[in-house]
Amino acid sequence: MQKSRLHLIATVVVTCTALTVAGCAAASIPADERAGARADRTTVSVGPPSGESAEVGGHTVSTADGYAADGAPISEIADTPAIANLDADLRHAVARATEAAAADGVEVRINSGWRSRAYQQALLDQGVEEHGSLEEARRWVNTPDRSTHVQGRAVDVGAIDAAVWMQEHGRQFGLCQSYENESWHYELATTAGGECPPMRRDSSAG
Ligand SMILES: [Zn+2]
HSE-up (13 A, CA, CB side) for residue 79: 17
Which residues crowd ion ligand 1, with CB under 5 Å?
A: 154, 156, 185
pLDDT-derived band at 206 (thresholds 50, 70, 90) equals low
Distance 21 CA to ligand 1 centre (A): 39
3-state SS class at 152: coil
The Å distance, Cα 91 to ligand 1 centre, comes to 14
pLDDT category at 52 given cuts 50, 70, 90 is confident
pLDDT at residue number 69: 86
Helices (H), the chain: 2-18, 31-39, 81-84, 88-103, 117-131, 134-137, 160-169
Centroid of ligand 1 to alpha carbon of 149 (angstroms): 6
Kindly report the pTM of this predicted structure: 0.75
Which domains does the chain carry?
Answer: 1-46 (no CATH), 51-205 (3.30.1380.10)
Q: Cα(156) to centroid of ligand 1, in Å?
A: 5
CA 88 / ligand 1 centre spacing (Å): 17
Alpha carbon of 183 to ligand 1 centroid (Å): 9
> Is residue 90 within 8 Å of residue 173, measured between CB atoms?
no
DSSP tag of 203: G
Q: How far is the CA of 161 from the centre of ligand 1 (A)?
A: 17
**77-116: per-residue pLDDT in tens?**
999 999 999 999 999 999 999 999 999 999 999 999 999 9
